Amino acid sequence: MSRVLVARLDSMGDVLLSGPALRAVANGSRPDGSRPNDVVLLCGPEGAAAAEMLPGVTQVHTWASPWIVNPAPPVTEEMTTGLINFVRSSRIEEAVIFTSFHQSPLPLALLLRLAGVRKITGASTDYAGSLLDIRLKPGEDFPEDQPEAVRALTIAEAGGYVLPNGDDGKLRITAGEDPEGLADELAEGGQYIVVHPGAAAPARAWPALHHAATVELLEAYGHRVVVTGGPSEASLTATVAGPSARNLGGGTNLRTLAAVLAGAAVVVTGNTGPAHLAAAVGTPVVCLFAPVVPAIRWAPYGVPLELLGDQEAPCKNSRARVCPVPGHPCLSSVTPEQVVEAVERLLGGVSSLATRRKVWKP
């Protein structure tokens, strides 16, 4: 058994998408028959809570990368030597760096080399010199237009790690306690739909009043609706929930939110971390997806999906955080009626609530 550092330095959703590749490193096999299953996951502050829920992770170490985190922390000797000393003291000899297409593994690889890591695997469009022992060239060794989960698995496989037999390669988290019993309370009332209106960037957000109208329509169709959101989104979730939907805005930690999403029949959300969390617990998703990044890479992976939004809008592939097109037409053109129709299509093609809850709590 050896210790392997696996790095994914950005958001909660990106960490969740790396889950199958992490399982390959932790539980898969190598050509020599050895099974390195002691995995240290290096992640950023936004991904730490998700990292704690991933199967196969032995230890989570949080580090705010100055080339990933926004706003970026200053580069100091203390922050760099802190990481180097952690890696040295952890007796890590091998590392696998997961990145998206617009990120470079090379700054981290340099720090890991200084820490004494002997073997480093990553994907880089730039010449890596002696920083990477195994270098995949995006666009040459593998296509860029593929799901992020598959990209990460490809990097892991290049390092010699493959998923064990019987692992379907889908997103997954470990079932944890819901200390408030919120998910069980919701389940007692019967089937419900979750609407999560928040987004990390304005360019990815469907208008609040569109969400509110969707909640009213869903209730008119006879559905119970639960609205979720973070502590900073209390005003948004109150507007969306209106007088009759259950408003959980600011009232759940990530594990409780996972349990709430696992109990839902369908989740309605944008290109957000909770969309990937819903996929990790096996719940179908209606995703209002702005094409500022490609849906083929970042749409919810491995679950029944209804993808809404104009994927050929002028903002396509711009990576904009604020919509560059007046009126935000890629999403504002989607009507509440279309969202409700998408929900109904998913409800017509999924298994029972009880069956999926057994998946969440094996």
Left if phi > 0, otherwise alpha if psi is -120 to 50, otherwise beta: which for 318? alpha
Left if phi > 0, otherwise alpha if psi is -120 to 50, otherwise beta: which for 56? left
CA distances from 219 to 192, 216, 245 (A): 10, 5, 8
Mean pLDDT lowest among 20-34, 205-219, 245-259, 326-340: 20-34
Residues 295-312 have pLDDT tens digits of 999 999 999 999 999 999
Residues 106-145 have pLDDT tens digits of 999 999 999 999 999 999 999 999 999 999 999 999 998 9
Mean pLDDT lowest among 27-36, 185-194, 306-315: 27-36
Cβ-proximal residues to 128 (8 Å cutoff; 6+ apart), any chain:
105, 106, 109, 122, 135
- Of residues 237 and 37, more confidence is placed in 237
Please state the rounded mean pLDDT for residues 214-238.
Answer: 96
Residue 8, beta-bridge partner list:
43
In degrees rounded to 5, what are phi and psi of residue 62?
-100, 135
What 8-state DSSP symbol labels residue 66?
T
pLDDT at 64 over 80: yes
Average pLDDT of the chain to the nearest whole number: 92
pLDDT at 1 over 70: no
pLDDT at 361 over 60: no
Q: How many CA atoms lie within 13 A of 216 on its CB side?
A: 13
Residue 123 has which token pair? 């994907």
- pTM to 2 decimals? 0.92
Note the pLDDT of residue 2. 81
Note the pLDDT of residue 179. 67
Note the pLDDT of residue 227. 98
Residue 216 has which token pair? 């009213």
Mean pLDDT lowest among 34-48, 49-63, 126-140, 232-246: 34-48
Note the pLDDT of residue 353. 34
Please state the rounded mean pLDDT for residues 24-41.
Answer: 76
Note the pLDDT of residue 180. 73
State what percent of residues in the chain have pLDDT above 70: 93
Left if phi > 0, otherwise alpha if psi is -120 to 50, otherwise beta: which for 33? left
Residues 259-318 have pLDDT tens digits of 999 999 999 999 999 999 999 999 999 999 999 999 999 999 999 999 999 999 999 999
pLDDT at 350 over 80: no
Quote the CA–CA distance of 224 and 264 in Å, as a whole number. Answer: 10
Quote the CA–CA distance of 53 and 43 in Å, as a whole number. Answer: 13
